[in-house]
Each structure stands twice: as C-alpha cells, then as structure tokens.
Structure 1
C-alpha cells in the first residue's frame, strides 16, 4: 500500500493530552469527500490488550466492556463533520458525552471475516468549536459470544469468526475555507474499563454503576492513568458502507400493569410481546442489585414464565457447558452506585418479552418508571391492511409485531432463544414481509449474508452461518428465491446480474447433491401436524429454483442456460407428478400440504388441477374439520391454492375460526405475536415466530387483492382482484410500490359494493371484480372529462386502469 502523506501542524499536546484534529490525521484529505473508506486506504482497528480466557468456564466471569476516548481541538470554523465507524461486536459512540445517532446494536451482524458494514453519521452539531472528545464503548455482539452449548452441543464460538471486540473509525471535518481533515483510530487513543461488567445477546447484561468513570466522556478529563489502545489486525472482512436500515428504537411502551408476584418481586406487564430492551428508573442503596428477568408468558399464579425464551433449550444443570447457567434465561442486572436514583437501559443486548420480573427493589415501581423499548431494523412500514373483522385485525397486528421482532439485522426465526437467520423461514415468509414493509435493501443484505455463508459441498441452514446444516435445500435455496422476490416486487435486476454466476454454480451444487432430481434429505414441512416427506417440499423448492434460473438466464441473455433450466423444470415436474400424483398416495402423508403443493407449484395439467382442488377440499374436511394442519411451507401454499383453485371464501371461514388449530385459537388464548406451533406451548416453543404469519400475505393478496405480475416486475403492471367476502363488510389496504402507493379499499353499503382504487403514475392495473351480472359504474377523481366508456370490459368486471384514483360501484 502506498505510504500516505501526513499533514502536520505545529500545535503541541496540551497537559490534558488534547491535540488538534490535524495531528491525529493519517493524511491530508482535501480530495476525499465524505462518506467512505477508499479501497486502498489502510484501516486501523483498535481494541484492548486483554487475552481471551484459557477455559470456557472463565468466559462467564466479569469481563468489563472497554471504553475508549480521544481528545482533539478544532481551531477553524467548521462547515460539516461526518463520522464513519464500525466494530466487530457492537459499539456505542458519543461526542462530548452526547450519543452519536439513533442506531442500536450496530453494526449489523455479518460474517465479520468476510464483510463488515460501517455507518456514517453527520456529527456537525455535536462538535464544539475548540475542545472535543470522541468516545466509544464496545460490546461483544456475535463476535465474542459465550461458549454456551445450545441444545447441549452448539457452541457459537466454533463456527463464527470470534475475537475481542475491536472498532475502527474516521471523522472527516470540512472547514469553511474548504480544507478537509481526518481523525482516525490509532494507538494514541486511550482506554479503560467501564461499568458494563458482562454483556451477551442471549443472557443479558450486568451493569455496575459503582464502576462508572465520572467525566470520562468530556474534554479535559485526566486520562493519564489510562492505557493506550492496541492496534489490532481486525476481523478480516471487507468494509462496506451500510445501505439498509439500522436497528433503532421504533416504539416506546408503558406497562399495562405492575403487580407483585411474591414478596419483593414485581411483574411489569407491557401489554404485548415484542423484541427490544427497556428503560427503568431505579432507586436504592449503593451496592443493591436489581435483577430483571424476561418472559413471553406468566404462570397461572402470576409468576414469570421465562421458558419459551431460554437460549438454546439450556434448562437444566450441565446442558450449557462449563460455567454456563443452569437455565439460560434472559436477565439483566443493575448494581446501584453513588447515585441513589438513576435510569438504567441495557446497551448491548436485546430480549423478547411481554413480562419483566423485577427483584431487589425496596418498593413497587410506578408505571411511569418503566418504558419498554421496541427495537428492530427500522424498515419503512407504510403498507397497511385492516378490515371490519376484529379477529382478522388482531391477527394482522400480531403478525406485524412478530415480523418486526424478528428483524434484528437478520430475519430470525425467533428473537430470543435462537436469533438465527434461518432460510426456511425466509423461504416461507419473505413475500409476506414484503407485503408489510419495504424489504428491498434489507433482503439484499440478507442475500449477501448467504453468499458469504454458502460453501460448495453441503447445504447450510442459516446466514450468517452458525454451524447448522441438516435442514437441506428448502433452507439454503432461500438465497435464490429471495433474489426472485426482489426482482418481482422491486425490479431489482442489478442484483440478479451481479450474482448470476454464483447462482449458476449453486444450481450445479444442487445437481451434485441430488443427481436424480428428487430431494431426498433435509427438513420438510416443519411443525406440520401430519407427516410430510422432504421429497415433496424439497423437490418443489428445487422446481421453483429451476424456474427462477430460467428467468434469470433470460434477463442476462443466456439462452443456452435458459433452455437448460427449462429442461430441468420439465424433468422435476415429471418426477414430482410421478411420485405424488400418478402413484398411490400413502395415508400417513399430510394431504393438505400434498395437494396444496401440487397446485401452488403448477405441477399438474388444468384438468388435473380441478381434481387436486377437490382432493384438497376433502383433506380439509377431515378432522380437525375446517382447519389447516400444515407447517412452515404448506400453510403458505394452502392459503394461495385454496383461494385460487376453490374460493377465498373457504379460506375466510378457516381463518375466522377461534378453534384449534388456527390463528384465531392463538389470539383467543391471549397471543399478541404468532406462535411457532399451532398448539399452545408454555415451555419449549417460541411464542414469537414468523412462519405462520403468511396469513398476512393472504390478507393483502386476496382480501385487498394486490398482486404483482411476473411479466412486469416492480409493479409496472399489476393485478387488482379484491375478494368481497360474504361475512366481511369492508377492507382498507395500501401497498407502497416502486412507482408509488397502490390503494385497494372496498366496503358494502346496502345493495352495493364500493371500491376505491389508486393506481400510481406510470403503471397499469389489471382489475378483476366479481360482478354477478350487476351494473358497474366508475368515476375518476379530479377528472371531469373522464367517461366510463373509456374503460373496456367494465361491465364484465375485467378491465384495465391507468394512473389515477377511481371509485367503482357495483349494484
């Protein structure tokens, strides 16, 4: 690397070790603009010099978080200042004691040995004209996890790149005279250890206020006794600027109730289940320990039930490995220092909970003493669905809450006991997430996580990779199917072109692992109430991948590849049909998932589809009659197949039931997030799991009727086919497409149905309404010259609409 020139000024260190910003610089950066690290620039990582424990049991001892500081002077008038910063682990940055930005749990979790995202903050308003100090506190995150033996065997320190937390930073200051200087990390920074004694993403944080260092984050503090930061090689990953939303506090909740569950123990009921942390005003005597535990449920006697959120099912002595807690529940501890009253908010952990158990207080806290801090990747949430059915609204609200709880820089299966980015959940729910939120950039980051995780020999289950590889193709193929949904919903062609060669190599790997085409290993329809062979769901996913690659090959101009994948599609369709349609079906298979899969993946001919739809109806009529018994994939398929090939009214009746199994059963049992299982679980299974939230997709796609057209990706042209249910009076539904907001509302009034549509500029909607021979009229808002004669096919209910807002009345 070329040696960088050092821009020197003749100012001396002051007695408090303050230096000019220029003296801290690595180079004169008059030609470098805000916002990035140049590819050839040397990045300096710094950390503490503490060795890692020699034995696993020692990881559970106190290991205080290091705090770093650097003082500097600004002698000229500032025009702007930007801070670029990231860490392996987590960081909190402040300037002159004031927090930089609103991000939490930054940076996003990645394979730090391959890719690390950094954030940029405008810090102009945080700087003083002369004396300044930049401070950083480090947390462990997923870079320095505990050696917890999840499920008695899964130690994250083995598959993950690990090490002591380190960070790198660069502050770029532009002066009014046009000059630009930098402050970077190096060994002139000072560090000590602060009040955070322990921090872990699973089992929480210990904060000892007695160890707070007063004034350390202000200019002029005497840090002469502090140590110099240690320059570190860093985790090895390439620095890339963050292009997706960060984790932030997105909502603040007041407790619905606080009560005593036993003498000296209080339970704060936050009203709903969510992921995040909390903030609480604490009072007491120096040395008092206030202990917080968290749970999704309570026992019948009102005491906390933390068991559905316990890390990796570590629930008895010896399971978690040397030094691990007997039960790895979520817990935080605050030890009171010199201040008799203070606010406590954990920094480097997050929990999933509705209930907080608080012990160690001398008196019952007030409602105003506690805030629940909802945290998630702050994706845009402008899409919405609501209707006249209160149960449906509760299901939708619980689904949204579940989805957001599982967006913590990765899309997790559950945000408490695992926190992993499983591909199966992504395969099942990515379309549902897209209907609810703007997922374009988040899912692009997700796909890069998979690119970094995938190897050439076996299928893996999660990205970032955590050592699990038994679920098979239906999990790893999520990286390919998610690319397709980014194309379909956002017209993200560039990503397809960028990764086409990688995708092709992945298909070659599939062919090596499953040379006969039938996927014969891996996990199938997880949590189905009846057996489903992986040969069905796995091979259907393989079929879907063949179709996706046809589309990708066409986009990239690879006609030979397109033909190859067409032939693969036909081969796989034939194999699935031979095994699951032409041959006698065994009784032990879940026939709901079977026939739904055949219909969803268009395996059969048109005539055979009618027979399969009849068979699907017959399967639904078996005990438990009128309910779905499908799992992670079958539920998505049956919602769509039953609506398309039978009637959405059939789905309406099932979703509207409060009997087991179903969403209404969950809500009736008090659920505020969606469960991992149809059956209620108070010990083993997560109560905040997205996979059964695919019903939300059905709300948007069938009751709202908003559907993309695969021939016109990105909603250049799209479908509007709202279903007016007999027992539903109104629907309000909107979706933010790349061209603008799509609105599809309808309501019943006496003997007529009124539709309100909004079609974004530059787009066309293919409308399909059930008219039943009734009269159809249409008006276009703010267009007095508009005539219904312009709309061909209006009376049939099948017509096109271009940009504008319309009212359609059928009576």
Structure 2
C-alpha cells in the first residue's frame, strides 16, 4: 500500500513538473528557441564615427499557415525602437515602441492580434530597427553630458514570436532565431534628437512580402540582449493621437518654405514630395519664428549645443531638430520619419523647386495615448485657451515618460512630476502610465544619492524634491484611484527610501538641491526641499496605517512633527532678512499647515502683501510655489482673487503667454526665444485649479478613490459659466454652473455608490432650491444643511438654483 501511495505521489509531482516546464506561449522570454537578434555590426570605436551613415537593418522571415487559423498573435519588443509589418502592412498603431526604460532592468513588450493580416498560406513578417535611447549619439549635452556613459547602450536588437492557433487545436510558434535574414535599409541615420535621414535610393521593393528573393541577405546570429526582464506592457502605447493640417505655408526667402502648423506639438509629419532622383529635401523644426518670418529653432536645440565644439567630436555645431529625405527612382514620394520625434509649430523646408500645397502636409501628434476623459471649459476665452495650451503641453510631454521638455532634453524629471502629477490626473486617465513611472523610478534609484530623472541619465544635483516624486505619485494614485495594491507592493521599498533620505539629511533638514525652479525671486532649497521631506513623512505615516504598521506610523509621525517644527522655527518664527520670494515662502508654509492656527491670518496678510507688491499683482512663483499659491489663495482668501490673476493678459502670467502667441506653456514667465523651452508642463498646475476650484471637484483624503468627495464650485464675478467633469473609479462626476435669470444654475452628477459633500457660495439672504433632474418637485426642505449651502448628496443628477448676489 505504501509503495502504491509513493508511486501516486511521484506521478503527481511528475505531472506538475511537466506542466510547469511546458512553455508559456502567452509570455515573451529569451530561451533556447527564442533569441534576441540584430545585425551583429560592431559599434564605432570613436565618438566622431557615430555621426557617419549607419543604415538601420531590415529583418524578414517567411511564415507558412498550415490549416484553418483560429487566431494569431505577435509578441515583440526591442532594445531601441522597432517597426513591424505583415505582408508589407504595418502591425498595429504603436510608434516609438517599446517604451523607454532602463533596458538593463526591464523591457516592455507589446502583443498584437495579427489574425486578419495573415494570408491563408504564405506570409512574411518584416522588422526595421531604430536606435531610440538604446543607441544614442555621443552628444555632449551642455558640453559635458554624454548619454552613452550612463545608459545601457548597444546595437539595436529585437526579440519576438508569432503564435498560430489552429481550429483543430494545434499551436505553432515562429520565433526570432538564426533563420531570419537581414540587410541594410534606406534609413541612413536615426536619432531622437537630431532626426532621421532617409535615402530612397536604397529602398528594397517587396522585402517584407512573401516570395521576395533574399538569397543575398545574411542570416542573423543570436545576439546578447540588454539584460532587462521582459514584461508585457500594461500602459497606453505611443500613438498618433491627432492629425494636424497646417494653417499656412509661406516663403520668407528664396528656396525656403515655412509650414505653420498653427499650434506647438510633439510628433512628426507626413508630406507629399516632388523631385528628381538624388535630390535632397531638408526639414528643420522650431517652436518660434523670427520677426522676418524665418525659422527660430533655438528653443528646441538638444542640450544647448549651439556653437562649435560644445557637442563633442563629430557633433553638429548646432544640434537642432532636422530630417532629410533623398529621392530615389520615384518623382513623387511620401515621407514620414519613423524613429524620431520633434517639438514644433514651424517646419522649414529646403530643397524643393516650388512651394508645397497645404493638403500635402500633415502634422502627426504623438503621445502615450492616455484617455482624455475629463473636461473643463468656461465662458472665458482666455481660460479656455490656457486650458487648451496646458493639455497640449501635457500630451506633448508624454512620450512614454513624463518629460519636462520634449525637444531639448526629453528626460523624465521628478520635479515636474512632483509639481504636476495631480494636474495630469485631473486631465487624463493616467493611472497605468504613472504605475509605469513608479517602476522607472525604482529602476533609476540607488542607495547613496538622489537622482533627478527616471530613467536615470546621470543627473543628480536637483535633490530630494526631484527623487521624492516616486513617493508622492504613489500617494496621488492612492488618493485619486484608491490604488492600495501599489502601496502594499512598494511599502518595503518606500521604507528603505526613507532610510536613505534620513542618511542624506540626518537632521531632517534638506540643504542641497534645487529650490523653487524658475521663481522670479530666489527661494532656498531649505524651504521647498524640507517641505517635500515633510510631505514624504506624512505620506509614509498614511501608508503605514494602511499596512497596519503601528510602529512605522508612530515613527513617521514623529519625523513629520520634527520636520514641521524645524520649518516653523526657521521660516516662521524668525524674521526673514534674506532675499526670498515671499509668495513662495508664505504659500508653502500655509500649504503644508506649518503656520500655527492662531497666526494663520498673519500669514495670509503677509502672502497678500507679497502678491500686491509683485508686477501687476501677479504670481512670481516657480515650479512648486505656483501650485501652492493657487491652492492657498483659493482656500484662505478667495478663488475670486486667483481668477482675477489667471484671467489677465498681463505679465507675469498665463494670459501673457497666450497673448504673445503661445499655444503651449513656457518654461519661464518671461518670454524666451533662445534658451528656454516653449513647451514645459510645470506652470500647468493652473489646470488643476480649474478643476479643483472653478469646477470644485476635490477628493476627500478619508475616502480615497472618490467614494466620498467634495463639490465646492466657485463662481467668480466676471465668469458666466463653467462646465467640468472628472471620471472617478466610480464613474463620471459632473459639476456645471451658469448664471441666468438672476440665479446661479448648478448641474451636479454624483456617481452610483458615492456621496458628495456640496459647498456652495451663499449669502445669508440667498435661497437655494434643489431637485433631482428626473423629479418635478424641489427638495428644498428635505436636505439638511441646504440653508447654509453645505450639504450632502447621494448618487444622482441634480439641478440647484441659488439666488444671484
């Protein structure tokens, strides 16, 4: 009996092991049958040689379909970028794939349903590789920073497999191995900063279709991969999200044509060209033009490489954005750059005999395709322009990472994330994108220093206010999406990060790094950096509570009190004698509840005095102070005061940008035509203010994910209406209001299974009438608190009338 039991157990274990060892066709990984492959070409030995022609390789593999298909899918990724086709037809809509990560740690792959692309018998898959961030040029950004010295780099390689499932239950796999063939293609150069050079004379007709004679092509040899773990992408891919027709095309000088796209955006273009074999057409891009109508490319120049010798051996004197097309045998051609992205409103064209027609040019806006499901508009044309410019700026800076500027640097700086992650959440469904961002930061950080970007690009002087973005973003994912799963996943890592912060700043005092970047008046890092440390301690106290870590909760509470006390002692109790932006100073102290309660009025008066003394009575704050002052003035003074500043065309302000032709937000309050980006998200926190205060849609920290929330719309004197909506995990929240018939008409929508705490502006003599949209009778006497303008509403759609003041 014992022997029989042993035999049964052994058979059971054997069966489990057999199932365990069975290949999982639904995952992509390198193994004995699936390899990374490339063109096996060595990298140049000297930096200057990187700038020579280096054709992108083409790869092909013919596939036979042996029966009636049930389904077919492709799993594929690259170190660098790839473009894949089946029988000459592009697979999917993704561009600049895969998303940028630290390729030595993790690489995301995409899955495509290709069932409808396959023929019944013979087929061919074609793959073209681009350099991306895996094989960047050795450009010396700012004269010193070479990405090749800090990134995992190498020749672009890719890995993939096609899974064919037949109706008879049979499964077949076609993977990357040495049976694939490759040859050089027509793309001579490709770089994310300097652009593409495409020589149509080198095109190979039919190379990615079945039946092509590839006998002269080389067989691939398995290549070494970049080392990162292959993971299926779970976030929105980069895609063409808008096709933009130019407003006009003109010629400022003979032989030069300027295409005005009408708005600044990130992406590429598609153009119909006419020319002779060997003709070259050169494109350059810029956010601005000079007074004579010629292109100004200087605000988008890579790493401020603007004179000879700065960029290193072989680099151009000026590293502007450019593309080149060389005609082959066809006199009519269509050109669309594949492995680069630019930021531009204006495109300069040289090399054409005559001016192209408007319909021949199309701008292709690219961004991670986050859903723009939330909405704000108002009766103010200026506010609407500011919102449009903000959203356009945000999307332009979502190319798989949230960048600070999408042309000059393209890096995922934490400071901008710290300042604007709430703003992005108000505008887009960005949960999965930000989850990817958190993992980027996990891969970027180390135990001894603070880094400034994720993926890490070697910059490490901005300090805690930049690296702490990975923790604050987790909190906002929890607050707005109730993403408790991420909190639990990251908790041990977060504790280690707090230990590192304590080692670097043992007194709880942040005395290194950047302060309120681009403030018009200096702000010490001791104020903003230490305030961010306070925020981190408070977040960790909340996370410890979620984790039932009572010791941790106590520890982080003590740390928060220690930091708060030091900030109060240094920046509130002592008289301020040094030159400091008092707007940022008092806004920060009030935002983080550092001012003693009985002295808040004094702080408010000091803040208002600082505002009134500023040019035009406007804000002079920087990357962090702007977020703080928008919130604090609305909370403690009046949204009316903020509205007057935001809805003004005077300098400094958003209206000044718009009145000076901006279609995306500037990096600085001052106008810049050379140094600073004209497409920078950090001042976009005004968009958050639109949703939070004019729409009044605010989360309740006690009920993360909007199970319960606040609706407190403000009604400025010179604004006639606001329409706003935000899609929460429970459904759409709507907060609309308009002035009509001596009343303010509110339309509110509260999702199923939620409750809103409504706070309306109301004088003591004003009357409020409330009813559900589907009801005929008003409920004025049935809602507790209605007479005060503060009351709770359960799920439903409501109409509220308030007598106008």
The alignment's TM-score, normalised by the length of structure 1, stands at 0.95
1:374 match: 365
Aligned with residue 224 of structure 1, among 215, 222, 243 = 215
Contact 2:735 2:749 in 1 (8 A): yes
Distance 1:507 1:54, change over 3 A: same
Residue in 2 that maps onto 1:746: 737
Is residue 91 of structure 2 the alignment partner of residue 111 of structure 1?
no
What is the distance in 1 between the residues matched to 2:227 and 2:690?
A: 45
Distance of 2:175 and 2:28 partners within structure 1: 11
Quick check: 1:745–1:756 contact (8 Å CA) kept in 2?
Answer: yes
Superposition deviation, residue 609 in structure 1: 1.6
CA contact (8 A) 1:209 1:336 kept: yes
Which of these residues, 533, 542, 561, is aligned with residue 551 of structure 1?
Answer: 542
Shift of the alpha carbon at 1:782?
2.3
Between 1:623-632 and 1:244-253, the stretch displaced more is 623-632
Deviation by residue 1:345-380 (Cα, 9 ceiling, x = unmatched):
000000000000000001110000000000000000
Q: Give the one of 460, 464, 471 matched to 2:455.
A: 464
Question: Which residue of 663, 675, 684 maps to 1:693?
Answer: 684
What SS is found at the alignment partner of 1:157? helix
Q: Shift in Å at residue 702 of structure 1?
A: 0.3
Q: Provide the rounded CA distance (Å) in 2 between the counterparts of 1:514 and 1:522.
A: 12
Query: Deviation digits for residues 121-143 of structure 1, max 9, x if unmatched?
Result: 00000000100001100000000
- Cα distance in 2 between the residues matched to 1:35 and 1:598: 52
1:354 to 340, 345, 349: 345
Note the C-alpha offset of 1:792.
1.3
Partner of 2:698 in structure 1? 707
Aligned to 1:776: 768
1:643-682 to structure 2, matched below 5 A, reads 643-682=634-673
Alpha-carbon offset, residue 265 of structure 1:
0.6
CA distance in 2: counterparts of 1:28 and 1:100, whole angstroms: 32
Q: Distance in 2 between matches of 1:39 and 1:794?
A: 64
Alignment partner of 1:338 out of 309, 329, 341? 329
Farther-moved stretch of structure 1 (272-281 vs 779-788)? 779-788
Matches of residues 271-670 of structure 1 in structure 2 within 5 Å?
A: 271-670=262-661
Residue 721 (structure 1) shift: 0.2
- In structure 1, the residue matched to 2:785 is 793
Contact 1:402 1:673 in 2 (8 A): yes
| Offset at residue 31 of structure 1 (A) | 7.0
- Give the whole-Å Cα distance in 2 for the aligned partners of 1:307 and 1:39: 44
Alpha-carbon separation, structure 1, partners of 2:260 and 2:224: 46
1:380-426 Cα deviation digits (max 9, x unpaired): 00101000001000000000000000000000000000000000000
Give distance in 2, aligned partners of 1:434 and 1:453.
Answer: 23
* 8 Å CA contact retained: 1:30, 1:179: no
CA contact (8 A) 1:480 1:545 kept: yes
Alpha-carbon separation, structure 2, partners of 1:219 and 1:638: 63
Q: After superposition, where does 1:148-159 map in structure 2 within 5 Å?
A: 148-159=139-150
Partners in 2 of 1:807 and 1:71 — Cα distance? 63
CA distance in 1, matches of 2:298, 2:391: 23
Contact 1:35–1:120 (8 Å) recurs in 2: no
Deviation at 1:788, TM superposition (A): 4.0
Kept in 2: contact 1:484–1:548 (CA 8 A) = yes
Aligned to 1:803: 795
Q: Is the 8 A contact 2:769 2:778 kept in 1?
A: no
In 2, the alpha carbon distance for the partners of 1:28 and 1:255 equals 58
Give secondary structure in 1 for the equivalent of 2:615: coil
Separation of aligned partners in 2, 1:625 and 1:90:
48
> Does the C-alpha gap of structure 1 residues 463 and 42 become closer, same or farther in structure 2, counting only changes over 3 Å?
farther
Aligned residues: 785
2:617 is paired with a residue of what secondary structure? coil
Of 790-799 and 512-521, more deviation after overlay is shown by 790-799
Residue 73 in structure 1 maps to residue 64 in structure 2: yes
**CA deviation map 1:620-654 (0-9, x unaligned):** 01131411000000000000011101111110111
Q: CA deviation at 1:294?
A: 0.2
Instruction: Indicate the residue corresponding to 2:747 in structure 1.
Output: 756
Unaligned runs of 5+ in 1: 1-26
Alignment of 1:174-189 (within 5 A): 174-189=165-180
Q: Is the 8 A contact 2:541 2:553 kept in 1?
A: yes
Deviation by residue 1:746-782 (Cα, 9 ceiling, x = unmatched)? 0001310000000011111110001212111111122
Residues 37-46 or 759-768, more deviating: 37-46
Q: Give CA deviations for 1:178-198 in whole Å, capped at 9, x if unaligned.
A: 211111000110000101000
Paired with 1:668 and 1:791, the residues of 2 have a C-alpha distance of: 46
* 1:728 maps to 2:712: no
How much does 1:43 deviate?
A: 4.6
Indicate the SS of the match to 1:800: strand
For 1:357 and 1:55, locate their aligned partners in 2 and report how far apart those are by CA, in whole Å: 32
User: For the residues of structure 2 that align with 1:40 and 1:546, how far apart are their CA atoms?
Assistant: 44
SS of 2:732's partner is strand
CA contact (8 A) 2:57 2:183 kept: yes
1:77-92 mapped onto 2 (5 Å cutoff): 77-92=68-83
Residue 343 of structure 1: CA displacement? 0.5
The unaligned stretches of length 5 or more in structure 2 are 1-17
CA distance in 2, matches of 1:378, 1:534: 35
Counterpart of 1:237 in structure 2 is 228
Query: How much does 1:784 deviate?
Result: 5.6
Query: 1:33 deviation in Å?
Result: 6.8
Q: How far apart, in 1, do the equivalents of 2:603 and 2:760 lie? A: 25
Instruction: Say which is worse superposed, 176-185 or 591-600, in terms of deviation.
Output: 176-185
Task: Give, in whole Å, the separation in 2 of the partners of 1:569 and 1:162.
Answer: 41
Q: Decide whether aligned partners of structure 1 residues 41 and 599 sit closer, same or farther in structure 2, where only a CA change above 3 A counts.
A: farther
Q: State yes or no: 1:131 paired with 2:143.
A: no
CA distance in 2: counterparts of 1:806 and 1:259, whole angstroms: 52
Deviation at 1:787, TM superposition (A): 3.8
SS in 2 for 1:766: strand
Q: Which residue of 1 aligns with 2:12?
A: none
Q: Which residue of 1 aligns with 2:728?
A: 737
Q: Does the Cα contact within 8 Å between 1:172 and 1:180 map onto a contact in 2?
A: yes
Q: Give distance in 1, aligned partners of 2:19 and 2:54.
A: 38
> Match of 2:611, SS?
helix
C-alpha contact (below 8 Å) 2:616/2:651 kept by paired residues: no
2:6 is aligned to none
Quote the Cα distance in structure 2 between the aligned partners of 1:42 and 1:677: 53
Tell me, yes or no, if the aligned pair for 1:30 and 1:181 is still in contact at 8 Å.
Answer: no
Aligned equivalents of 1:790 and 1:40: distance in 2?
68
Question: Could you state the TM-score of these two structures normalised by the residue count of structure 2?
Answer: 0.96
- Using a 3 Å threshold, how does the CA distance of structure 1 residues 279 and 207 change in structure 2: closer, same or farther? same
Residues in 2 aligned to 1:187 and 1:490: alpha-carbon distance in whole angstroms: 46
2:37 alignment partner, SS class: strand
CA distance in 2, matches of 1:112, 1:239: 9
